[in-house]
Amino acid sequence: MSKTVGFIGLGRMGGGMAANLIKSIGTLHVHDPFPAAAEPLIKVGATAHDSPAALAAECDLIFLCLPFSPEVRTVMFGDNGIASAGQKNLTVVDTTTLDRTDALAFAEEAAALGIAYWDCPISGMPFRAHDGTLTIMFGGTKEAFEEAKPYLENCGTDIIHCGPLGTGQAMKALNNVIYNVNIVALCEILPLAVSVGLDPDEVARVVTSASSRSFASEYFVPRMMDRKFDSDFAMQDAYKDIVNVQKMAVEKKAMLPVVNAMVASYQAAMSAGYGAEPKSSILKIYEQALGVEFRHKD
């Protein structure tokens, strides 16, 4: 690994990824619009820059981890963006979760400026970003994947080459929609279990150990029981995965009745005012319908 590496976006996911990178490669150029986010990395040897352009002028490989498409566009092509540095032979690996069509558009615009852009979304909670155990889905050429893989291995344990440009975003969206279906099933069924007289604590034991056990149940059911509807990704921020899959379904004329039912529950929860809360808050609309709560007994 001989490239000069930069990392832009040092939030809950990017901060952990950048910390693991610098442990391995010894030096890292970093930027975040909130300078305080860079301080833990500066303490271990990172060099902070005040703009994406300043960072790009020093690097030939840059990783992005940003909230949404508008932030990616600004960092890539805005004033003092990466492109304005005029750096030759620059590669950008974007771990942001995006609409697949946005990733393709960014790549086309970047290529016209001599910049290689590849989509590379990640899956896992912030603790997995910090532990270096993310699942990472790369969309791009085999050569680009092999070039990025040694760096990505510092951030994840499952590094998948999904195929050409855009397939990383497709894989991430499809995986997350399966996960969303699982969460909605829990949110529908758990209030029903309470309504028919089952002990919530015993229901929790079953759905986290028996045939319905899943990552969704193991992670969210204890939080539902404790009424902890914070500290996780907001429903409204994760909605982009649904949009991605809906576009793919239209393109391929696919029938997705279960996914459509999940989307209806998701939209109902956001309409009820829970959009800023985690997906587990979908539980509340089904609790309210039955007049029960899924929680520990007093």
Active site residues: 172
DSSP annotation string for the chain: ----EEEE--STTHHHHHHHHHHHHS--EEE-SSGGGGHHHHTTT-EE-SSHHHHHTT-SEEEE--SSHHHHHHHHHSTT-GGGG--TTEEEEE-S---HHHHHHHHHHHHHTTEEEEE--EES-HHHHHHT-EEEEEES-HHHHHHHHHHHTTTEEEEEEEESTTHHHHHHHHHHHHHHHHHHHHHHHHHHHHHTT--HHHHHHHHTTSTT--HHHHHHHHHHHTT---SS--HHHHHHHHHHHHHHHHHHT---HHHHHHHHHHHHHIIIIITTS-GGGHHHHHHHHHT---S---
Among candidates 284, 139, 186, which has minimal Cα distance to 275?
284
User: Phi, psi at residue 77, to the nearest 5°?
Assistant: -125, 0
User: Which helix (H) or strand (E) is 157 found in, with range?
Assistant: strand 156-163
For residue 254, count other CB atoms closer than 10 A to its CB: 11
